[in-house]
Structures are given as C-alpha cells and as structure tokens.
Amino acid sequence: MMQLVLQHFCLLTLSATAAVPRHSVADGIVRVPRDSLAIVEVVRGIIAADNASDLAKVMSFYSDSALLLPPGEEPVQGHRTIQPRYQRLFDEYRPAIEGMIAEVRLGGEWAFVRGRNRGVLHSKAGAGDRMLNDVYIMLLKREPDGRWRIWELMWHSSAPPT
C-alpha cells in the first residue's frame, strides 16, 4: 500500500511541478488560478469544520475512498472507517486548530497541499489537553462533480513550536 502511495505522490509531484505556476503577477496584481483557490477552500473548510466539531461537514471534504495515513498507526480508508475516528475525536475533545498552508501544486485532476496545523485539542473530560504541531501533505482529486476532495492525508508531529 505504501508503495502505491509513494508512486502516486511521486507522479503527482513531477506532474504538478511542471504544471501551472502557483500564481502570476500582472500590473502589480497577484492572480491565483481558480483551482488553487478551490483547493485552499477545502483546507480552510476542513479546519473550520474540525473546530466546529461538524462531523457531516468534515466528511464532505473527503472522497468516499479517502486514505488517512496517521503516524504510528495502520492506514484508515473510506468513510466507514474515517467517520468513527472523527466521532471519537469530537466526543473527547474540542478542537482549536490553526492551519497554515506552505504550498499548493496542481497537475490536471490532482493537487497536493503541504502545510502545518497548530493548536490544541481541549479535553472534554478533563483528561488533559493535547497540543498540536503537525506537518502534513494532503493529496486532492477533482471528482466528477467538479469538487476537489481529499484523497489522501499524511501527517506527523513536528518539533514543539518556538
């Protein structure tokens, strides 16, 4: 499975790097491709849905066969296994996450986003808050309905914030 993920990532990286520039400047005005804006909205939207503990909205950002690659755990694939994971998170914590996007690249019907999430998961049971400082790579695919959805999400904890 990991080999397949790496093949997709390498293929996407090569095609995306040679594809559309991230933005262009003309007459002092920065122009960003419309698809880049749609992809940024997916990233911002899922963070907002996380912070609102809105399970239905969170799931709407994932493709039906999405794959999560959490650190130190087995892969989690498809809505039926991703949804209970989020439900547990929302039952136990109140997220307060700030997302930062470092890079967005497009390649046809595929895109990737590299970024960082910081913040805190406030414990609802008083078991102690969890600090977040994660870096991620998110692969997105334009689906037949034209919407960009998360196809794969990989992350790991980064060094503590300074």
Instruction: Compare 162 and 19 and report the one with higher pLDDT.
Output: 162
**Distance between CA atoms of residues 60 and 49, nearest Å:** 10
Give this prediction's pTM: 0.79
Instruction: Quick: pLDDT tens for 34-92.
Output: 788 999 999 999 999 999 999 999 999 999 999 999 999 999 999 999 999 999 999 99
Percentage of residues in the chain having pLDDT higher than 70: 77
Q: Which amino acid is at 63?
A: S
